[in-house]
Amino acid sequence: MKRVLVTGGAGFIGTHLCRRLLREGCHVICLDNLFTGSEHNIAFFRNNPNFEFVLHDIVTPYEAEDIDEIYNLACPASPVHYQYDAIKTIKTAVMGVINMLDLAVKNRAKILQASTSEVYGDPTIHPQYESYWGNVNPIGIRSCYDEGKRCGETLCMDYHRQNGVRIKIIRIFNTYGPYMLPNDGRVVSNFIVQALQGEPLTIYGTGEQTRSFQYVDDLIEGMIRMMDTDDDFIGPVNLGNPGEFTILELAHKVIQMTGSKSEIVFKPLPHDDPKQRKPDISLAQQVLGWKPQIPLDKGLRQVIKYFKERC
């Protein structure tokens, strides 16, 4: 039986990944410090003999044996959370990655690093493809996350070159789905919770900035396929939905789908907020045979239903 370590396994994406790996017959070790994750998310798995939960922060080294694969998802991913303690965020993105790479060395394990579209910063090319080096402000309020993730990719490559670690690097674009936190500051959850509560939907800037929204099940499929590729393919690979929407379009769609009477209010655009974000997924299509299957309307219905039960 394959033994798989998932850091950040009690978080939004990690919960879905743990479920998928258990379904595929893996023994799953879920490592989480519960900063943005929740034991409630993984309560369904706790009685599964193939599931272990370990309360641990990857900034501190973690020792384990007989690990076959590591999915490193541990790091707050929304501005609200990663700016709350910027130093902690960059420690997680750098020291935490070093600790997981050291664990991979000791176990001769394969490791998938969950990087992000934020490595492209406020891009000057559109759409973004993997060879683009990005346009990131190294001293801005988002830098703890953006530059932390860029450094994480560097560390993976250096461990691969110097120590022969089998690495996989993915760059995750905006992802949404059940188990998102209602207060995590991401636009999809923000809009849905505001609409369901009859509050004004808050748009920062004019709303003409664009994003591409990927349903979490599509992302998990891409992650599994990436981990299963031959060792000589390391990425990075964009995983995202190339369907592009303005923030204003998303707001109107959420209001219509929830039947809300909420108004839309506009506030100043945060510093360094990207104006456009859309992945080129040619590489994922070519190597992984992957592309998103779930359109925005279908995915939003699932998330609206999820939050209706909790708001």
Q: Which residues of the chain have pLDDT under 70?
A: 78, 80-82, 271-272, 311
Q: pTM of the prediction?
A: 0.94
Inter-residue contact 163 to 106 (CB < 8 Å): no
Alpha helices in the chain (DSSP H): 12-23, 79-82, 86-107, 143-163, 187-196, 216-227, 247-258, 282-283, 296-308
145, 159, 176, 215: which is the annotated catalytic residue?
145
Tell me the C-alpha to C-alpha distance, in Å, between residue 139 and each of 39, 55, 146: 34, 32, 10
Residue 82 annotated to the active site? no
**Per the structure block, which two tokens stand in for 236?**
């990075």
Residue 81 has what pLDDT? 65
Look at residue 272 in the predicted model and tell me its pLDDT. Answer: 60
Q: What is the pLDDT of residue 271?
A: 67
Q: What is the pLDDT, as a whole number, of residue 78? A: 63
Could you report the per-residue pLDDT of 240-284, keeping only the tens digit for each? 999 999 999 999 999 999 999 999 989 887 766 777 889 999 999
| b/e sequence 50-84, b meaning 16+ C-beta within 10 Å | ebbbeebbbbeebebeebebbbbbbbbbbbebbbe
